[in-house]
Amino acid sequence: MVDFVRESTGATKVQYMGFSNGTAQYFYGAANAGSRQWYADNISHAAMLSPCTKITGASRSSLASILLDYDYLRDSLYSADVWHIGGDNFYDQLDVKLACFVEPDFCTLAESFINGYESAFGVRLVSHYAQTAITDRFQEYNRDFEFGFVEATPEQRMTAEIPIDSIQVPISMYVAKQDDLCPLATGQWAY
């Protein structure tokens, strides 16, 4: 998309605006050693709306209890062939109805994420946000992360940290006072 805008307008650099998950994607790309220079060469400024690198809202009771057993919940969703949470007609899908019947906590988790959002969330995305909330660091996704059923040491849960402080492009962050999923504390944590 950046290349398309640059080619269409003749601009040497563009401004990036990310919202929620779009900010996490930007932070990841701009901090990654393999793409850091591309971001510096092609983006002049990044504006982050509701910057969300971890779910600090995970302390909410409806979400906190589910995170403890997320391994089981995630595996149940994959077994039922459910790969996303939310989106149009989400609860009308047969696989979702089956998942809600077999694992009622799934619906509780889904409702805590999709209230007020029209787009879907990938199960792996939710898992990654939960990992960063539990480890209290913005890190690479850990396929073998154990949330609760298996006793895991902090070292077993850690992967390479994503070095946000290495981003070379100027960033502005904007946080809403009533954002319960990515509140001010999340923006301050990323800063």
Kindly report the pTM of this predicted structure: 0.73
In a shared domain, residues 15 and 45: yes
Check residues 159 and 109 and name the one with the higher pLDDT. Answer: 159
In a shared domain, residues 104 and 170: no
In a shared domain, residues 41 and 117: no
In a shared domain, residues 151 and 174: no
pLDDT in tens, 50-101: 888 876 654 444 455 555 566 666 676 667 666 666 666 666 666 667 667 7
Check residues 33 and 93 and name the one with the higher pLDDT. Answer: 33
Long-range contacts of 160-165 (CB under 8 A, 24+ apart): 161/137, 162/27, 162/28, 162/31, 162/32, 162/138, 163/31, 164/27, 164/31, 164/53, 164/138, 164/190
Name the domain count of the chain. Answer: 2
In a shared domain, residues 48 and 104: no
Q: Which domain holds residue 94?
A: 56-157
In a shared domain, residues 48 and 60: no
In a shared domain, residues 185 and 102: no
Q: Residue 174: in which H helix or E strand, if any?
A: strand 171-174
Weakest-pLDDT range from 39-48, 85-94, 128-137: 85-94
In a shared domain, residues 118 and 172: no
In a shared domain, residues 84 and 133: yes
In a shared domain, residues 71 and 96: yes
Paired tokens of 132: 């960063």
Report the C-alpha gap between 45 and 119 in whole angstroms.
26
In a shared domain, residues 77 and 135: yes
Paired tokens of 151: 């006793």
In a shared domain, residues 62 and 145: yes
